[in-house]
Structure 1
């Protein structure tokens, strides 16, 4: 695993320095946009802004290594791989970012680590922080322009985080964007569907 240089202890500054050092300017712009949106959602839903901010800053920190290196790190740490991760090792980046957050940035807050670790796929029984970072990552996406689903998510977020997450995953499925669904997103979808059904009763 790559060794990250000595850090100052100021997370915002250190993330910026590391991503600059590895020439990840696009990733840096993305994570700071996700952090901004995560804090806004934390305020909207009256939860801890620090947790959302820290998780968002570190959610893509593993971008400093290649997908092949992510696979090597996963094997080194004995992670059980989902078939989707074996086929598309980039999907490991959420879990490798957790390792980097703990090993190099001394993050031990389980809420922060959980939100980092499922920001791409979500998972069953997600916490409010998991859902906020998941959605902020999709809203502040790393492509040009506004995401085509932005209006849908903004409307959903007036109702609940759960509805926004459910509708996003369902849209991905219906549009065939999930070429090889990770088990976690299947479980998240089933869990959220049960939640939505219960709410409509």
Structure 2
């Protein structure tokens, strides 16, 4: 009997939910498609109907995460008198709040952080690198705008400012997720951002 589109969609979602649980508990390298099938209550054939391999599953989990509204942010930054630092700091604060309260996001990012980047999982690393490159270009362009407005301090170049912001946010998230969540990522992370953005201003001493 042919499955309806609705049934196929439901099965796909069932598999993704099971994969999220299994990969988070076991780690992707130590979990098999059979483990996911068992947790989802489906056959391995059903898994392979929807997903080619474990990497395909991880990528689909990552794609399921709602991302910041990048087009709206880009339009804000394109405005002639845009408050570049204000927009970027606000987006960073919102990201930290979102991570602190969204357990689904926490699990998927933990899976990605612990995932091997070789063999069948190389596609995951490639996808992340592509996104990192896109974000870096957008950040560098934003800081270049701030520089053109005379607001970026002489200690910074657009690239160094963009790199530092990425390192701070990614480092905060990785340490919090991988090492027991031993600090308040929302409040302490926002304080770190406030201090970082204070150094970006044109009043900051140059080197």
Classify the TM-score, shorter chain: under 0.3
Max Rg structure: 2
Normalised by the size of structure 2, how large is the TM-score? Answer: 0.26
Normalised by the size of structure 1, how large is the TM-score? Answer: 0.26
